[in-house]
Amino acid sequence: MSLYFDHNATTPVAPEALETMASCLGEAYGNASSIHRFGQAAKQRMEAARRRLASLIGCQPSNLVFTSGGTEAGNMAVLGAVRAAPGPARHVITSVIEHPAVLGPCRQLEREGVAVTRLPVGPDGILDPGNVRRALRPETVLISIMHANNELGTIQPIADIARIARAAGVTLHVDGVQALGKIPVDVEALGVDLYSVSAHKLYAPKGVGALYVRKGTAIAPIAYGGHHERGRRPGTENVPGIAAFGAAAALAARILDSESERVAALRDALEDAILKCVPDSGVNGSRAHRTPNTSNMYFDGVDGEAMTIALDLRGFAVSTGAACSSGAIAPSHVLTGIGLPAARARSSMRFSLGRSNTAEQVDALVEAVVAAVAHLRRISVHA
């Protein structure tokens, strides 16, 4: 038995996306920049995907830039927006629980002389929009706040933050990687200027992402070498991956509401059963304002990495948090950012459900968690 409960790290490729990708590799192998029929066939596949993704997030296709993934899209947004801003003194506002795709470029901007404010969040993992307003300076040029957190699933009040940013004349970037396909996303209604997404969180292949750029939003290039993507991102486009992304977006649009409701019920059943059966356990962050598939739980007295291995040996793939931080010695910056002591942060696990998970699988996972926690606590006492 091998059951997958780590969909926030990556998702299996949906059959519809796989079929589309294979079709492109075999039939539309031309360069989308070429003017002959092979190139134009590839371009048609790419533009169809652009329309499908645009429909999913509520924007015009021309506002989307395809990238190599969410990290590149985040870098393009953060670095591009700040470097395009006039004036020698520039300031960025972000939060302490952002993904490294945002925190990393923010650190680079600090090396370039840009001031960065990292706002705290409450124990529920949610940012107070009032703190954004209070952090504004005359030289603030960018606010970058994630839509949904990758470890907790907590959803930030983006529309409120967007109103604050708009009133101040400040560009707003939102990391939407963990929101896409899990909750409704309408970038126009939200009022954001930049919105980054990733294909492999949406049952499409790795190596593809996109950045929504509101018309009129200035971003400087972070790479050079060509005029692809309307001059905003050079390099020959990954047409098969992009086409698969489009197929996955179309599928997500059709099943978003029903699948979100189904997965949320499974997630809640998982938590309720664990809380009932495992003493000294609890849920990290808000249980109300989060994506429907994500649960982050602590098990006092248990090492999270040991728990991950124990569950893997029992046939369950779970995570202690962000996949890109696996193997890190320090506790999760997200969990310490919501005020957890280091010991509890290290005893926390993330369960992220997806389309393949069933009630029977959840029941089996609960049994495995109960057994693993009991075993690990027992050997810890005798160690």
**pLDDT tens-digit map of 57-93:** 999 999 999 999 999 999 999 999 999 998 889 999 9
Contact of 32 with 42, CB cutoff 8 Å: yes
Which listed residue (24, 106, 277, 324) is catalytic?
324
Asked if pLDDT for residue 137 goes beyond 80, the answer is yes
Kindly state the tokens that stand for 50: 């652009």
- Residues in the chain, total: 383
pTM, rounded to two decimals: 0.96
Contact between 56 and 79 under an 8 Å Cβ cutoff? The reply is no
User: Locate tokens 């997030």: which residue?
Assistant: 57
Q: How confident is the model at residue 383 (pLDDT cuts 50, 70, 90)?
A: low
Rounded CA separation 174/162 (Å): 10
24 tagged catalytic: no
What's the confidence (pLDDT) of residue 4?
98
CA atoms in the 13 A half-sphere facing the CB of 35: 0
Nearest to 122 by CA among 354, 235, 365, 286: 286
Domains and CATH numbers, the chain: 3-10+256-382 (3.90.1150.10), 15-251 (3.40.640.10)
The string of pLDDT tens digits covering residues 186-231 is 999 999 999 999 999 999 999 999 999 999 999 999 999 988 888 7
CA proximity to 70, closest of 355, 322, 293, 354: 322
